[in-house]
Structure 1
């Protein structure tokens, strides 16, 4: 039940909404359900004389279902064949009904939930909705004087709470649930909500593809800009560099070089070992041996019909046949993916997939996914020239532009709220200098690099900048990464207002990032 508090009472909500530092009961990689990384009671107080005047956020969408009927249907097809051959263990016999229950929950996900327009795969789960509702409450509680002031001044000196998103349903819905929560707890902010027009007209030199107000693909979906919607031909266009970097990244995704960087874990003896450990608890060795000849495979074929509990919604889904399981390694990996997604669907799916994925094996498959993401989405290698993150530079620059406006005396924006995807949060961490690349001669692993998907981009991952000003007009900034006070890139330490402080002089901070960008 959401709280309904006057803005002056919002700090009291922390007692109900605050979560401990990262706490989870499994290894879910970037599907880890969100928890703030620091107790708000331990945040540093701003220096004497400084008052909050602005805040901005970029957040990944909340916990969601599977994006489509793919690996789940392929694994279910494998289970059906094993059942027909009487090749299941007692635990394995329970797997099929649990996969089918997960498929049904995904097919109907969001049905009956106000604010979800089209039920089905890819929608936010109840956990994901609450992640953003609570994130909004904690923002209000962290900066009560800022929001109280802009709320009181709404009629006489209105400022804007600017909200943008990627245009994808789960990001749009995360924005909606976040802002709904803001207004439930602070109704006076309602007149300040603003969805700016989408950048237009794009694609250039072709028939424009209009986007709804509030959508900005160049900032929040830049990893997947497409010629049919986003083509930029004019070098003078502010998004030309972003579009070019997006195309370079998408070419990189298809290169043999990336494949070479990503595949080492699959070739190591540990891969076969863990696959056997997982699958022999569910299937007989003879059944698994059928993969050895290379001719056995299972795909996401077939048709499935699911009906809601009230009988009012029926959906029939057909598999595309494009997702195939051809080895024990692939089967175990698909099972790990179901285990990971189920962690954020606990309200919708009662099945406990941790029964099928022992803790040691879950950690192994998380490490493999981290290895792949480090090279595909993360900082990658020092000789990659930032191809995995340069398309996020416009998003980084947007943060600076907002504070530049404040420095110039333009206070029209009280906050800017952005909602996106892991594929933007992860590159942004590299663009901000918070994650470091490895030399090409080194191979990423848990023993030589701190990069972890569960901390870099869990579900509802976020970065927030709180901006304060004193009577002399000096601006200082604090960075919260997953709600933890976090240093900016190490080369900017000289911009701290005092050694070890989490507050940075904005002029020095901007000069530092400008200097690094100029190199």
Structure 2
């Protein structure tokens, strides 16, 4: 399979997709993890039959599910136009009582870092520089002057903090941890074995520290070893060269031309610029219109993650805001999730992480241990994981650019501090059941359960072992593939 590749670019990107900053594409790279043992009987007729039946059912569910009305949702809550910049919305988690006789004993977790500043100081400074020069030339409208003054206030907070966790991001993880502890105290009881690991990016490490602080405020006696080093990158932040090739090199031929034409029909900066500048000739000679539009958009949608009280979303009409979100949502889906023409390559990147989740859970289940495994990474890791696990609403299939928003919305799947939790319960007879939480809301996987939202662990384990052994593209309806 070739030599392992060390993660090279994750520190400069959120998930290896810089499109959300500069409307470009590319993938970071991550070390290839060694193979692990667990194997499943891929000839099992039971699971093959179940898979075929559920593929069609789930595809239909995605097309008619809760996430069909993105335009209306964004109109009601404009902050959702931030997509993966949407500030974590949950303040209370779901907690359906377990069946009689079952108590929680283990939590398996993966969380994206919390709210952050834009990736680079340049994302603020570039926009401010354009506005400053126009201000000095007397080419700003009264609205433009207000925007410039507000940007200077934003810069007071953001300068030198590009890519870092914001105070809100710290609070998010602190609070998620405390809700977890209070909902499943038995998992954190005396002698609990808890571990925490993050990617090497500081905003992830700081998220982990704040999460642990939230736990230890409730029980100072907890011992929680933590790591943020290269040792765990092979599963926390993994991607393979074929996915980079699809997202970048092959993408120039396979999907980017169509995407760029589609995007061009949705992005028009003229109205916005005419509201900010009083001299069209100045704009023509001095302003890169598309760049300023996108720069203002990113600042606008990230303000919900900062402490400074300033607002820029109202610069955009509802239709403009939706269109900008839609083109970013489509690009993120294509390069991170279950886009049919990607041959499943981006979803397959999460298999090392799912293998780690299964193997670690086995060690708790088989040895009678209790505790939690806490993992911290990026949106470009949790998005393919949720698609691989086929959580409801997290892996819709669409080959048409205009239809992606109907089946897949980034703000529902990976807002800031998004997280996946598996809560394990057992009874006195040693039977183990598990439930799945996406952003602290109970969710379903596409296999039947007569005790939903709970599933029998042995069935889940077999199902996910088969998932790992099966190319992800095989779960996509054939008529949507290349």
Matched, 1:417 2:374: yes
TM-score of the aligned structures, taking structure 1 as reference length: 0.70
Superposition RMSD on alpha carbons, in Å? 2.4
- Give per-residue Cα distances to partners, 1:59-111, cap 9 Å, x unaligned: 11111111212232222222123223322110101122222322331225xxx
**SS of structure 2 residue aligned to 1:374:** helix
1:357-506 alignment runs, 5 A limit = 357-380=316-339, 382-411=340-369, 414-434=371-391, 435-436=394-395, 438=397, 440=399, 442-445=400-403, 449-488=406-445, 490=446, 492-493=447-448, 496-498=449-451, 501-506=452-457
**SS of structure 2 residue aligned to 1:455:** helix
Instruction: Please say if residues 83 and 411 of structure 2, whose CA atoms lie closer than 8 Å, have aligned partners that are also in contact.
Output: yes
Q: Could you tell me how far 1:452 is from its partner in structure 2?
A: 1.0
**Residue of structure 1 in register with 2:85 after alignment:** 31
Instruction: Please say if residues 262 and 375 of structure 1, whose CA atoms lie closer than 8 Å, have aligned partners that are also in contact.
Output: no
Q: Could you tell me how far 1:445 is from its partner in structure 2?
A: 3.5
Matched, 1:276 2:270: yes
**SS of structure 2 residue aligned to 1:460:** coil
1:131-146 alignment runs, 5 A limit = 131-146=172-187
Closer, same or farther: CA 170–287 of 1 in aligned 2, 3 Å: farther
Q: Could you tell me how far 1:24 is from its partner in structure 2?
A: 5.1
Closer, same or farther: CA 125–439 of 1 in aligned 2, 3 Å: closer
**Residue of structure 1 in register with 2:467 after alignment:** 516
**Residue of structure 2 in register with 1:217 after alignment:** 233
Instruction: Please say if residues 397 and 407 of structure 2, whose CA atoms lie closer than 8 Å, have aligned partners that are also in contact.
Output: no
Instruction: Please say if residues 32 and 340 of structure 1, whose CA atoms lie closer than 8 Å, have aligned partners that are also in contact.
Output: yes
1:93-242 alignment runs, 5 A limit = 93-108=145-160, 120-147=161-188, 150-151=189-190, 154=191, 159-189=192-222, 192-195=223-226, 211=229, 216-223=232-239
Task: Return 335-344 or 428-437, whichever deviates more.
Answer: 428-437
Larger relative contact order (CA 8 Å, sep ≥ 6): 2
**Residue of structure 2 in register with 1:334 after alignment:** 295
Q: Distance in 2 between matches of 1:391 and 1:282?
A: 43
Q: Higher helix proportion, which one?
A: 2
Closer, same or farther: CA 62–261 of 1 in aligned 2, 3 Å: farther
Closer, same or farther: CA 426–355 of 1 in aligned 2, 3 Å: same
Instruction: Please say if residues 261 and 375 of structure 1, whose CA atoms lie closer than 8 Å, have aligned partners that are also in contact.
Output: no
Q: Distance in 2 between matches of 1:97 and 1:222?
A: 42
Q: Could you tell me how far 1:216 is from its partner in structure 2?
A: 1.7
Closer, same or farther: CA 48–264 of 1 in aligned 2, 3 Å: farther
Instruction: Please say if residues 61 and 459 of structure 1, whose CA atoms lie closer than 8 Å, have aligned partners that are also in contact.
Output: yes
Instruction: Please say if residues 49 and 471 of structure 1, whose CA atoms lie closer than 8 Å, have aligned partners that are also in contact.
Output: yes
Q: Distance in 2 between matches of 1:262 and 1:400?
A: 37
Instruction: Please say if residues 87 and 287 of structure 1, whose CA atoms lie closer than 8 Å, have aligned partners that are also in contact.
Output: no
> 4+ residue stretches of structure 1 with deviation over 4 A?
21-25
Closer, same or farther: CA 518–216 of 1 in aligned 2, 3 Å: closer
Instruction: Please say if residues 383 and 439 of structure 1, whose CA atoms lie closer than 8 Å, have aligned partners that are also in contact.
Output: no
Q: Which runs of 5+ in 2 are unaligned?
A: 1-72, 471-482
Q: Distance in 2 between matches of 1:479 and 1:288?
A: 55
**Residue of structure 2 in register with 1:356 after alignment:** 315
- Give per-residue Cα distances to partners, 1:22-69, cap 9 Å, x unaligned: 9955222111111228x44x5321001111111111111111111212
**SS of structure 1 residue aligned to 2:313:** helix
- Give per-residue Cα distances to partners, 1:216-236, cap 9 Å, x unaligned: 21122224xxxxxxxxxxxxx
**Residue of structure 2 in register with 1:17 after alignment:** none
Q: Could you tell me how far 1:289 is from its partner in structure 2?
A: 5.3
Closer, same or farther: CA 264–276 of 1 in aligned 2, 3 Å: same
Q: Distance in 2 between matches of 1:76 and 1:98?
A: 10
Q: Could you tell me how far 1:474 is from its partner in structure 2?
A: 1.0
Q: Distance in 1 between matches of 2:411 and 2:258?
A: 21
Matched, 1:64 2:116: yes
Q: Distance in 2 between matches of 1:375 and 1:453?
A: 12
Instruction: Please say if residues 278 and 361 of structure 1, whose CA atoms lie closer than 8 Å, have aligned partners that are also in contact.
Output: no
**Residue of structure 2 in register with 1:205 after alignment:** none
**Residue of structure 2 in register with 1:290 after alignment:** 284
Instruction: Please say if residues 436 and 442 of structure 2, whose CA atoms lie closer than 8 Å, have aligned partners that are also in contact.
Output: yes
**SS of structure 2 residue aligned to 1:164:** strand
Q: Could you tell me how far 1:161 is from its partner in structure 2?
A: 0.6
- Give per-residue Cα distances to partners, 1:139-168, cap 9 Å, x unaligned: 011112332xx23xx3xxxx4211000011
**SS of structure 1 residue aligned to 2:422:** strand
Q: Could you tell me how far 1:261 is from its partner in structure 2?
A: 5.3
Instruction: Please say if residues 109 and 373 of structure 2, whose CA atoms lie closer than 8 Å, have aligned partners that are also in contact.
Output: yes
Q: Higher Cα Rg: structure 1 or 2?
A: 1
Closer, same or farther: CA 437–260 of 1 in aligned 2, 3 Å: farther
Q: Distance in 2 between matches of 1:418 and 1:264?
A: 39
Instruction: Please say if residues 351 and 468 of structure 2, whose CA atoms lie closer than 8 Å, have aligned partners that are also in contact.
Output: no
**Residue of structure 2 in register with 1:343 after alignment:** 304
TM-score of the aligned structures, taking structure 2 as reference length: 0.75
**SS of structure 2 residue aligned to 1:271:** coil
- Give per-residue Cα distances to partners, 1:459-480, cap 9 Å, x unaligned: 0000000000112211100000
